[in-house]
Structure formats: structure tokens, C-alpha cells
Amino acid sequence: MNILEGLNKEQLKAVETVDGPLLIVAGPGTGKTRVITHRIAYLVNQFGVKPHRIAAMTFTNKAAREMRERLQALMGPISNNLTIGTFHSVCANILRRDGHHIGLDRGFLIYDSDDQLKLIKGCMEEHEIDPRKFAPRAIQSHISAAKSSLIDAEGYAIHAQSYLEEVISRIYKRYQELIRRNKALDFDDLLLSTYQMFNTNEALLKKYQTRYIHILVDEFQDTNIPQYRIAQQLADQYKNICVVGDPDQSIYSWRNADIRNILNFKKDYPEAQIITLEENYRSTETILSAAQSVISKNQERVDKELWTTNTKGSLIKITEEHDEEEEAQSVIREVERLVDTDGYNRSEIAIMYRVNAQSRALEEACLRYGVPYQIIGGVKFYQRREVKDIIAYLRLLMNPHEDVSLTRIINIPNRGIGQRTLDELIQYGRTNEISIFSVIQGIIKQDNNMPSLPARSIRAITDFLNLIRLLSKESQELDIVETIDKILEHTGYQHFAQKDERGEERWENILEFRGLAQEFKNMGPEEGLITFLESVSLSTDLDTMEDEAGSLTLITLHQAKGLEFSAVFIVGIEDGLLPHLRSMNDPGQLEEERRLFYVGITRAKSRLYLYRAFHRRIMGGNGQNDASRFLDDIPRNLIAGLPVISTRQRLITPKNDSLKTIKQPIRLVSDSKSKIRIGDKISHPKFGVGIIVNRVATDQDIELTVAFDKNKGIKRLLASYAPIEKLES
């Protein structure tokens, strides 16, 4: 198979330009991934570059996985030798291998922002800083911003000016001490430490520089400074650095992504070639030109004219609804119409929104109409309490001196170690700069000067110590799944998890977590534990998203980047939400919001729907939102639907509920369904078999409450919509 086949002129040029620095500016839908993968395959096949001498960095694990799969198809199993991953995972690997040069333990843990926050709170407590005066989250983001600017704690201290910076500086310093003592790195550390290690160890850097002949960076517009620097470091020997990005899709500045990297790239490599991909293969002409109109309103932007030979396609439909519930219902009805009459598959359709909270109304509507759906993000799987508990146990087996995890589970399930006792342990640990685990060991060995505790507490901490010791010992010879089982067994976690009312759900989550560990089962005990914990820390919901056949996708605009769907619904296009309230005052941030909208629009292949609601419950209150200013930027001739849309002012509705009455015509409940009674057994294509536990007939429909399988739970469905069938009992 010819790798160069079927590429357009620019794509071809991008693939064939293999020498020296290269910037590929790739608009949405222009075949970016295709170019990257073909370029890699071309390097290997045409020039005989060994796969292990090529590194490609992506933004998400999902993107990495996709790239790997495509390369596998293109060049077979040797693709396994390529270095492909997110910056974070690539750096984690480098640090596992060579971090000992800067005193890192091979089994270091990776802290997520939750762990980070706990540690920061602990530091603040130590320094007697009132969390009401200084929000821990704010401090956290300042520290993160500092690290993203390559400023370490010492550097920060030197330049701290204001009182706030003074405070941050103290916390930063202590935070860094503690995170090191816990043998952990946070996300930013993964990058910063790698950069610093290379900076201070020339021989080591040389080793990597010599190895990697080609460096590729995807989603370059969303890289931060350390990431760019690392890419530069790695590429410094051969200068074959290829970065691919689209400034118009830069939406992560809040995570310290620095769009100036693109400008700097041109400055740092004046000899760099620049190739722009402008032919869009994804969207209809209508959608593309709407996108183009929206983005062209940004001031800070290099012009780029996308074009397509695709057909005009349908007009963009803009719909106004009264409140978020009606918005959700209206969306779901249209989704179902697309499925029923236009032959769309639900998995080809996505609903996108600005903030996760918006998913709720949509989810409820899906449940009511019995529409199978999957929510990406939301309460993240690894963030669930029960899952984090088990992770904490695993981390302790890795390193019992890790205080954050220890404090988390020392009394979970309850074993009689209360706050009082724990405080005592923490306090002593702090003043003597030793871990809580060491304090416990000391007390039990009856070392001098250890805090004295009531006999009852001593018994409790002794039991805990023995538990951890037993588990550590056992886990040395067990694979990761068996280790999890031992944890569950010795802690009695199953009973603990199941006892409260959401118990079954929690237990299901644990079993799912255990299932995820299976993948690491055939590794050695330590290897498996390290790798599994790393994978848990670095992967997100999006990565584990498996296209559940036939499910509608609910997703934030941010997460949707890089994806495409036949039909896209963007909801909540209102001032305050789609330019988000927090971004409306700052022109720079406003432009980022517009880019976010642009990203959403350009996900759509053939149909685009834009929704807004007049009323939206915001933090309890009842908010009325104006239509988004961005709607004005879509030319009217591309829009079907409301004729008044161009004047936003007119869209502010009177307070009455007149719109509420405009409802979908009543659907008749079919005969077979109306016969369903309480106690009947029914089956549902997605939820399986369930039993009717309640039945309420309203004037228009029959609402059924159905108890499904334990992991699906209880759902309320409308008889007219839900694709259910009565089973003979």
C-alpha cells in the first residue's frame, strides 16, 4: 500500500517534508491525524528510520491510542516500538527510568488535583493560614501556574512581592518538601522535573537526543511552556521537530497552555517550514462557513480560509426553549426524530455543553424518553470515593509513608481511629518531620517521646499497622487483581461499601475498577502495581470512553476537541454560559470562548443544532439569560428556524409561560404498552430486564418507574417513547 496515496497537495507536502523544523497549521477536519500518521509511516518505510527513534506527543491518551491503532494498520507490529503518548505519560516513563539521577524513587506516585489539594490544605494548617482568607484552590492554581512558567519554589520565593505571593511562596516551598517526602509528583512536576533533569544532566539529555531523530507534537496550540521546552530539548540534536496545531482551537489557556508557543516556534526556528492545511473534509459547506464566520470575529488571529467541496447540506437550526428542561426535552425529541426518520445512529450524534452541570437536565430527559446515552466526564470514575479508597490502599502498599493516602483510609472502614487520634499522629509527625506510619510504628515499639494514647486507640492503630504489613507482605507475591481482592477481603470493604443506600452502585464501581486492573494482571507484582497506579492517575474518562454501540454522547465542548459526529447539538448558547460569565470581562478570554464555540461547531459533519433557554437555574437562583452574542456572528442565510435571531434584544421573553404550552403533539401510547401494570416484567434494549414498580398515568402519557438490574438501577420512563417490551411472566 502506498503511503502517499490519496493525500492532497498540502498533506503530501506535510508528509514529505521530513528534514528540519516544521509547523503544520491544520484547521478542523483537514486530515491532521492522517498527515501525522502517514508522515511517521513514511519516515519508517521510505527512510528506514527505526520506530524507536521517533516520538510523538499527543494531548490525550485517547488521541495517542487512536494514533497507535492507525499506525498499526499502516505499518504493522513494528509500530509498537514508537514512543507515542501524552507529554505526561512520556515524561512519567522517562522519570521512572532515569529519575534516580535527580533522586526520584522508581515507584513514585502521581498526585491528582485532589491529592494536591489535600496536601496544600495540610501545609496551610501547618502555617496557620486561614483557608477562608486564602482559598486552597487559588493557591493550588498559583503553584501550578508557577510550575508551568518553569518557576520552582526557590525561584518563586525570590520574586514574591505581595503578601499573597509571600503566602503562596511559603506554601509552595512546604508543599514541594512534602510531596517529595511522599515520593509523589503532581502533573506539573512530571513536566518540570523532566525539564530540569535534562537541564542539569547533559549526558542524560544527550542520550535521549541521540535516540530521538524525529519529534512530533500534536495539538501544539494547547501545550504549555515546559512541554514545548521538553520537545525542544529532545529535538536539539537533529532539529527534526514537527509541531501540528491550530491557533483557532486553542482552548486550554486556563490550564496554562501558551499559545505563544506557536509564535515562539517561528522565532526559535527561523528556518522552519510552515504548511497550512485548509481543505476541510468533514463538514458541509454550511457548517464550515458558519464556523468561519464565528471565528473570523476574533481580533487576535492569523487569517486562515477553510474550504470544502462538500455539499451545502442542511441549514443550521437554532431553537429557543423556555428553560433547561424544555431545552433538554426538545433536543432529545429531535435526536429521536433523526434516529427514527432520518436513519441516524445514536452513536453518530453528540450533545455538547459548556459546563458539566448542564448534563443533568439532558440525562434526565434521556431517561424519561428511554434514550440510551453515555456521559463523558461528569463525576469522574477514578474520583469516586470508593475507587479512591482502594487506590489509597494500593498506594500505601507501594509506600506506607505516603501520608495523604494514609490519612484517607486510616479509618475506612471504621476501625476506631478517630479525628482526635489522627490529629495526634499528624501533629507528632509534623514536628518531627516523620511520616504518620513511622509515628505509629514508634508508638507501638514504645519509643520514647512518642505521643501517649489511650489503650483503646493503641489497639486500633496496632490493628491498622498489622493490616498494612500483612497486605504489603502478601502483595509481594500477588498480581494486581489478587492484591485488590486481598485488600477487599482484609478490610471488609465490601460490607462497608454496600451498607449505605447507594451501596450497590458503589460496589459495582469497585468491581469495575477491579476489572480495569485485569489488564495489568500478567505483570510482576511491583511492576503491575506501579503501572496500574500510573495508568489510573494519568487516564481520564475520555480515554476509557468506549463507543457504546447505539448510545447518544453527552460531552463538554472542551472534551469534544478532536472528535467528530454526524449531528451535533450545542446547548445553552447564552451570554453567561457560552461566553462564560467568568470570561466575559476579559477580551482575551472572550476570544477563547469563541474558539470553544468554533471547536463545537466544527465537530459536526452534516447537521448542526444550536439551542438556548430563556431561564436557567443557576446556583439556586432563577437566571434569565440573553442569547449568546456569538449567535450574531452566524450569517442569517445559514440559519433555519427563528427569524428573530439576529436581534438578541428581542429574544428576552416576557415572563409568562406561553412557550410552555408549545409542546410536542401528544404521542399515543401503543396498546401493548398501555397494558403494562405494576409488577410486570419488561425488557429494554439498553437497560435489560426490569420490573415495573410504579405507574402514573398523566393526561398525555404514562410514566413508568422501572427497577432494572442492580447496576442500572431505577429509571423513570415514558411509555410512549421508551423502547420497551412487555415480557410474559
Partner DNA sequence: GCCGTGTTATTTTTT
Partner DNA sequence: ATAACACGGC
Q: Please identify every residue annotated as catalytic.
A: 32-33, 218-219, 249, 603
607 binds DNA (CB under 7 A): no
| Binding footprint of DNA, residue count (CB under 7 A) | 48
587 binds DNA (CB under 7 A): no
Please pick, from the candidates 183, 401, 617, 712, the single residue that binds DNA as defined by CB under 7 A.
617
409 binds DNA (CB under 7 A): no
The CA distances from residue 232 to 216, 484, 540, in Å, are 11, 41, 27
Span near DNA by CB under 7 A; candidates 264-272, 551-559, 654-662, 693-701:
551-559
37 binds DNA (CB under 7 A): no
Please pick, from the candidates 446, 619, 654, 671, the single residue that binds DNA as defined by CB under 7 A.
619
Residue nearer to DNA on the CB measure, 86 or 625: 86
Residue nearer to DNA on the CB measure, 159 or 582: 582
Residues 6+ apart with CB under 8 A from 691: 679, 680, 681, 682, 706, 707
For the bound state, the minimum distance from the C-beta of residue 713 to DNA, rounded and expressed in Å, comes to 15
Residue nearer to DNA on the CB measure, 249 or 559: 559
Q: What is the DSSP letter of 207?
A: H
For the bound state, the minimum distance from the C-beta of residue 359 to DNA, rounded and expressed in Å, comes to 9
Q: What CA–CA distance (Å, rounded) separates 151 from 154? A: 8
Span near DNA by CB under 7 A; candidates 6-14, 76-84, 130-138, 684-692:
130-138
582 binds DNA (CB under 7 A): yes
Please pick, from the candidates 217, 542, 573, 601, the single residue that binds DNA as defined by CB under 7 A.
542
User: What is the number of alpha carbons within 13 Å of residue 223 lying toward its C-beta?
Assistant: 29
Please pick, from the candidates 182, 223, 329, 559, the single residue that binds DNA as defined by CB under 7 A.
559
Q: What CA–CA distance (Å, rounded) separates 29 from 335? A: 23
Helix (H, G, I), strand (E, B) or coil at 332: helix
Q: DSSP states of 420-454 as a string?
A: HHHHHHHHHHHHHT--HHHHHHHHHTT-TTPPP--
Residue nearer to DNA on the CB measure, 205 or 357: 357
Residue nearer to DNA on the CB measure, 578 or 669: 578
Span near DNA by CB under 7 A; candidates 98-106, 293-301, 418-426, 627-635:
418-426
Pick the closest to residue 243 from 562, 49, 263 (CA basis). Answer: 263
135 binds DNA (CB under 7 A): yes
Mask of contacts with DNA, 138-177, x by CB under 7 A? ----------------------------------------
Site for DNA, residues 377 to 406, rule: CB under 7 A = 377
Q: Which three cell numbers stand for residue 550?
A: 447505539
Q: What CA–CA distance (Å, rounded) separates 672 from 675? A: 5
Residue nearer to DNA on the CB measure, 137 or 337: 137
Q: What CA–CA distance (Å, rounded) separates 526 from 476? A: 7
- Bridge pairing between strands 552-556 and 373-375: parallel
595 binds DNA (CB under 7 A): no
Pick the closest to residue 452 from 429, 434, 425, 417 (CA basis). Answer: 425
Residue nearer to DNA on the CB measure, 347 or 544: 544
Helix (H, G, I), strand (E, B) or coil at 353: strand
635 binds DNA (CB under 7 A): no
For the bound state, the minimum distance from the C-beta of residue 390 to DNA, rounded and expressed in Å, comes to 18
545 binds DNA (CB under 7 A): no
For the bound state, the minimum distance from the C-beta of residue 656 to DNA, rounded and expressed in Å, comes to 21
127 binds DNA (CB under 7 A): no
594 binds DNA (CB under 7 A): no
Q: Which three cell numbers stand for residue 694?
A: 410504579
Mask of contacts with DNA, 450-479, x by CB under 7 A? ------xx--x-------------------
The amino acid that residue 324 corresponds to is E
223 binds DNA (CB under 7 A): no
For the bound state, the minimum distance from the C-beta of residue 597 to DNA, rounded and expressed in Å, comes to 12
- Which long-range CB contacts under 8 A does 541-547 form with residues at least 24 apart? 541/376, 541/377, 541/378, 541/380, 541/381, 542/60, 542/62, 542/376, 542/377, 543/60, 543/61, 543/62, 543/65, 544/381, 544/516, 545/62, 545/374, 545/376, 547/347
585 binds DNA (CB under 7 A): no
61 binds DNA (CB under 7 A): yes
Residue nearer to DNA on the CB measure, 11 or 421: 421
- The secondary structure element, H or E, covering residue 163 is helix 163-181
Q: Which three cell numbers stand for residue 181?
A: 517526602
- Which long-range CB contacts under 8 A does 195-202 form with residues at least 24 apart? 195/150, 195/226, 195/229, 195/230, 195/233, 196/102, 196/152, 197/94, 197/95, 197/98, 197/99, 197/101, 197/102, 198/230, 198/233, 199/233, 200/102, 201/101, 201/102
102 binds DNA (CB under 7 A): no
Helix (H, G, I), strand (E, B) or coil at 7: coil
The CA distances from residue 724 to 183, 369, 689, 718, in Å, are 53, 11, 9, 10
For the bound state, the minimum distance from the C-beta of residue 256 to DNA, rounded and expressed in Å, comes to 9
Residue nearer to DNA on the CB measure, 61 or 280: 61
For the bound state, the minimum distance from the C-beta of residue 596 to DNA, rounded and expressed in Å, comes to 7
* Residue 509 CA from chain centroid, whole number: 18
Q: What CA–CA distance (Å, rounded) separates 372 from 349? A: 12
Site for DNA, residues 324 to 363, rule: CB under 7 A = 354-357
Helix/strand/coil (H/E/C) assignment for every residue in 71-138: HHHHHHHHHHHCEEEEHHHHHHHHHHHHHHHHCCCCCCEEECHHHHHHHHHHHHHHCCCCCCCCCHHH
The amino acid that residue 272 corresponds to is A
Residue nearer to DNA on the CB measure, 186 or 334: 186
Span near DNA by CB under 7 A; candidates 3-11, 57-65, 160-168, 279-287:
57-65
714 binds DNA (CB under 7 A): no
Residue nearer to DNA on the CB measure, 269 or 597: 597
255 binds DNA (CB under 7 A): yes
Pick the closest to residue 299 from 246, 224, 248, 354 (CA basis). Answer: 248
Span near DNA by CB under 7 A; candidates 2-10, 99-107, 540-548, 657-665:
540-548
59 binds DNA (CB under 7 A): yes
Please pick, from the candidates 274, 511, 549, 581, the single residue that binds DNA as defined by CB under 7 A.
581
544 binds DNA (CB under 7 A): no
Please pick, from the candidates 421, 435, 509, 551, the single residue that binds DNA as defined by CB under 7 A.
421
Biggest alpha carbon–alpha carbon distance for the chain = 83
The CA distances from residue 388 to 114, 233, 265, 545, 546, in Å, are 10, 36, 40, 19, 22
Pair 696, 703: CB distance under 8 Å:
yes
Please pick, from the candidates 419, 448, 449, 649, the single residue that binds DNA as defined by CB under 7 A.
419
Span near DNA by CB under 7 A; candidates 81-89, 316-324, 625-633, 687-695:
81-89
For the bound state, the minimum distance from the C-beta of residue 698 to DNA, rounded and expressed in Å, comes to 22
DSSP H helices, 445-586, are 455-475, 480-491, 493-498, 503-517, 525-538, 541-544, 557-560
Q: Which three cell numbers stand for residue 313?
A: 447540506
Residue nearer to DNA on the CB measure, 60 or 182: 60
- The secondary structure element, H or E, covering residue 399 is none
254 binds DNA (CB under 7 A): yes
17 binds DNA (CB under 7 A): no
Site for DNA, residues 234 to 253, rule: CB under 7 A = 251
Residue nearer to DNA on the CB measure, 311 or 383: 383
**Interface residues toward DNA, by CB under 7 A:** 59-61, 86-88, 112-113, 132, 135, 137, 187, 251, 254-255, 354-357, 377, 411, 414, 416-421, 456-457, 460, 538, 540-543, 556, 558-559, 580-583, 589, 617-620
